[in-house]
Structure 1
């Protein structure tokens, strides 16, 4: 009986996922296969993102902190207008997304791009780090890459599989080892989910530097950006227990990727005049 249950659980898990690559490889050759749940569609995740983003906009609007700095908002949207067209290199369908770009007045050192192209920058990351346009472009390219690769759907799929595995273990053992579930959960977090998140970050760095280069923004700015982030984030957790690569690892990896995109930047830079402060 237990064998039958085990086969049923494993079959359900296998049939519930598919191995895909959500993007083309680009010049930087991002080609990892991703495990996506067939029970969670791209449209479902996009709808959730759209609803969440609208709630964020409404809340910021009610507080008077949405796009309150007109010059900064125009600056961020101007950079986005150059980067967004480059997304077709990785995904042809991204040109049809309903892109939105907004800026919230907040001291947080953060920015994000939700599924479907919903971008938000916090003023704190621009002001506190004194970012130039090239550095803003690196952040934007990075965050857009998360959306292109559907990393949020991939994480949701992983969470689903984890829950299914835990339920299967409890079913197989009759609840005998439920007392060890907390330990098992922690082991899965450290041994699988955290390293997987670091992989997402590295992919976004790689694709982001290419997107920015194709839009005519200096790839070397990726290094100066993370040097600034390193100076601002003293006391960060050890890389082993972090969902992000250490700043030093990130800087080294990005430096190694510059040669692959330098030619793209050199070509694109001819299209755009250099502005003061970039």
Structure 2
């Protein structure tokens, strides 16, 4: 960061005055374990980042509505997404106590984009393209949603903003000049106003992506969704990417190593899933997705 001395002093003061950390690292003796979060995120006010996210999200939804792209509340896919979110959200608080205060929202935008996101503060949106093109099962929707929720819970956006040196001395979010890497429809992305960053376009590091995968698997398993669906999801993504490169894929790098990391942690999360289903792990049948060419996952 290229900071002036006064600004550096202001940042140091902000850290020293920061309230106790709400997001947690090792939250229980079972489930996945992750590294401690970077203290750099304290350079950015969580309240102001969440307020900025809410402003942008509301603007995007309003613009989508004006374009006839926002699915109504009674749409079957909206109801499915919200039901899955309702199952996952109670298991989010164990990772970040602020999640209990978030005003969660889940919406569906009609678009061919293979994309989904969760903004800081629990603002979730799916694009119909990711559901339709990948023929997502409920378990696979949960994997996508859990992963995106995990980014918000682990405050990756807050950390990215801080590392970019884009917080003011008062922790005011101001013009985060970040590249449009998530492929949001520019007409919808333009809904972000007031010079604020479009938080749906934030690219996370590979470590952040891995952490979101693992925390997402933990949340999904506790909610009673099969974490093995994550392996099937990325195999589906690999099949789709043979003909084109979906935007969600480009910002969520996959490949054999990512699938292998998820498989490596299945023994940790499968007992959580079995407990949620009320059976012994050995009684769980293999996970079978709905696309030919993907073998059952044990």
TM-score higher than 0.5 here? yes
For 2:185, the equivalent position in structure 1 comes to none
- Cα distance 1:79–1:8, how it changes in 2: closer, same or farther (>3 A)? closer
For 1:142, the equivalent position in structure 2 comes to 147
Aligned runs of 1:58-97 on 2, under 5 Å?
Answer: 58-68=62-72, 70-97=75-102
The secondary structure found in structure 1 opposite 2:164 is helix
Q: How far apart, CA to CA, are the structure 2 residues paired with 1:21 and 1:246?
A: 30
Corresponding position: 1:36 with 2:40: yes
Aligned runs of 1:127-206 on 2, under 5 Å?
Answer: 127-160=132-165, 197-206=205-214
Q: Deviations over 1:78-126 (max 9, x none)?
A: 1111001111221233122100011111111110000000000111101
Could you say which structure has the larger radius of gyration?
1
The secondary structure found in structure 2 opposite 1:112 is strand
The secondary structure found in structure 2 opposite 1:36 is helix
The secondary structure found in structure 2 opposite 1:160 is coil
Q: Deviations over 1:246-268 (max 9, x none)?
A: 32221111111111011110011
* Residue 227 (structure 1) aligned to one of 227, 235, 241: 235
Q: Deviations over 1:177-209 (max 9, x none)?
A: xxxxxxxxxxxxxxxxx9971111111000001
For 2:283, the equivalent position in structure 1 comes to none
Deviation at 1:77, TM superposition (A): 0.7
- Cα distance 1:67–1:16, how it changes in 2: closer, same or farther (>3 A)? same
Count the aligned residue pairs: 238
Q: Deviations over 1:181-239 (max 9, x none)?
A: xxxxxxxxxxxxx99711111110000011000000001100000111111123769xx
* Residue 119 (structure 1) aligned to one of 115, 124, 127: 124
Q: How far apart, CA to CA, are the structure 1 residues paired with 2:89 and 2:4?
A: 46
The secondary structure found in structure 1 opposite 2:39 is strand
For 1:217, the equivalent position in structure 2 comes to 225
- Cα distance 1:80–1:7, how it changes in 2: closer, same or farther (>3 A)? closer
Deviation at 1:162, TM superposition (A): 11
Q: How far apart, CA to CA, are the structure 1 residues paired with 2:229 and 2:168?
A: 40
Deviation at 1:33, TM superposition (A): 3.0
Corresponding position: 1:100 with 2:105: yes
Deviation at 1:36, TM superposition (A): 2.4
- Cα distance 1:50–1:8, how it changes in 2: closer, same or farther (>3 A)? closer
For 1:269, the equivalent position in structure 2 comes to 277
4+ runs deviating over 4 angstroms: 5-21, 161-164
Deviation at 1:23, TM superposition (A): 2.2
**Larger relative helix fraction:** 1
Q: How far apart, CA to CA, are the structure 2 residues paired with 1:211 and 1:266?
A: 13
* Residue 45 (structure 1) aligned to one of 45, 49, 55: 49
Q: Deviations over 1:57-94 (max 9, x none)?
A: 00111111111471111111111110011112212331
TM-score, normalization: structure 1? 0.75
Contact 2:25 2:36 in 1 (8 A): no
**Gaps (5+ residues) in structure 1?**
165-193, 272-276
Deviation at 1:11, TM superposition (A): 6.4
